[in-house]
Chain A
Amino acid sequence: MYDGGKILTGLIIGIALFTLPFWFNLGKAAKIPEPKLTPKAEKAKFCVETKEYMQAEHMHLLDQWRDWVVRDGNRIYVGLHDKKYDMSLQNTCMDCHSNKKKFCDECHNYADVTPYCWECHIEPKEEEEK
């Protein structure tokens, strides 16, 4: 083929760069995330929806909530076991899960996502672990 030398060289460099994450992390295993519940969350026994649903869909739930609250003016959500909640990340979710570093950030850091919710929604002040 034309320019065979250049193409093959480029291809090898390209594949090497593409697989860099594997070479870089060879031998290290990332810790599986273990989000910790606060005592308040443990006491509540259940969340707005089931744990499995929240794990998979909490982002969609929050997305829906923000449109319902801001755009439609509705505030009350009927969740699991017909319990009523005020639809608010800052005042409801973070009220129970007030340990952002050990709860929210655990999975977010593992999945390397940076949701910008907390740029606006104030996170509760956390005490340093002794």
Chain B
Amino acid sequence: MGLNRREFLKIAGVSVMGLGAPTMALNALFKNQLNASQISPNPKALHAKRWAMVVDLKKMNKEIVEKCIKACHSIHNVPHIPDKKREIKWIWETHFEHAFPEQAHEHMDEVLEHIPVPVFCNNCENPPCVQVCPTKATFQREDGIVMMDMHRCIGCRFCMAACPYGSRSFNWQDPRPFIVKENPEYPTRTKGVVEKCEFCAERLEKGLMPACVEASEGAMIFGDLADPESEVRKILRSRYSIQRKPGLGTRPAVYYLI
């Protein structure tokens, strides 16, 4: 026949591709495709152009913060991991100098210095975490909420490096043994993915307010920034508010009233 090895390999390669390509094309064309017009959002869902949270530090105290944390972590199956290095927290309590390191100084108002400040994902308008995610596993919705797609996350933790607020947690191990009481209506996560607060998107779509807002006895307010008559806009108009690390240009959706 006179075929040498190189020619044989070339023919073999082309044949494999020739057989493979039409098979794949046929598969793709004749797959049962679901019709996208069969879907719609829940009619009870709350809609907004830009969700925002306002935390009134004047009304904050230790009990309220603990109630908020408990509400959030229990309905979202957030595990309680005693090892501080591996802990997972969506919302937690800190002090003014840690939440606002650029605002704190040596002679602060004593009340403000010791108020428990709840911190959580700011769901920024210009989120660096979304910018760096290589798979769009974390992405920004039209209403401003920065979401996590747990199915797509590869666990590279680039988003954790990018977040200027330390809002994100990684599952260094299987979280299920550490969940105090499972909420059967919400999934858990598995080892190897990143998680964070998502402004209770799953409650918003049922017409409910975020869990922490409900538990906060009025110390936290949630609403649509784009609606000038919303509670959040009204209170921001009348009180002095600050944000975390405003100079970085992330434009957080969380405001703190002092």
Contacts of A77 in B (CB 8 A): 38-39
CB pair A66 B151 closer than 8 Å: yes
Picked from B34, B43, B141, B182, the residue with its CB within 8 Å of the CB of A61 is: B34
In this assembly, does B188 line the interface, its C-beta being within 8 Å of a C-beta of chain A?
Answer: yes
Chain B residues touching A, majority SS: loop
Q: How far is the CA of A79 from the CA of B37 in the complex (A)?
A: 11
The size class of the interface chain B forms with chain A is: 20 to 34
Contact B147 A70 (CB under 8 A): yes
Cβ-defined contact, A53 with B32, below 8 A: yes
Q: Could you tell me which residues of chain B, from 25 to 40, have a CB within 8 Å of some CB in chain A?
A: 31-32, 34, 36, 38-40
List the count of A-B residue pairs having beta carbons below 8 Å apart: 66
- Rounded to whole angstroms, the CA-CA distance of A47 and B217 in the bound complex is 43
Q: B113-165: which have CB < 8 Å to A?
A: 139, 141, 147, 149-151
User: A76 and B40: CB pair below 8 A?
Assistant: yes
- How many A residues face the partner with a CB closer than 8 A? 28
The answer to whether the Cβ of A75 comes within 8 Å of any Cβ in the partner chain is: yes
Contacts of A73 in B (CB 8 A): 41, 45, 141, 201, 205
Complex contact B187–A122 (CB within 8 A): yes
What's the minimum C-beta distance from B131 to chain A, rounded to whole angstroms?
A: 17
A73 to B46, CA, bound (A): 11
Q: Chain B: residues with CB nearer than 8 A to chain A?
A: 31-32, 34, 36, 38-43, 45, 77, 139, 141, 147, 149-151, 174, 182, 184-190, 201, 205
Chain A interface (Cβ < 8 Å from any Cβ of B): 53, 56-57, 60-61, 64, 66, 68, 70-79, 86-87, 90-91, 116, 119-122, 124
Q: Could you jot down 5 A-B contacts, CB within 8 Å?
A: A56-B32, A70-B149, A70-B150, A78-B39, A122-B186
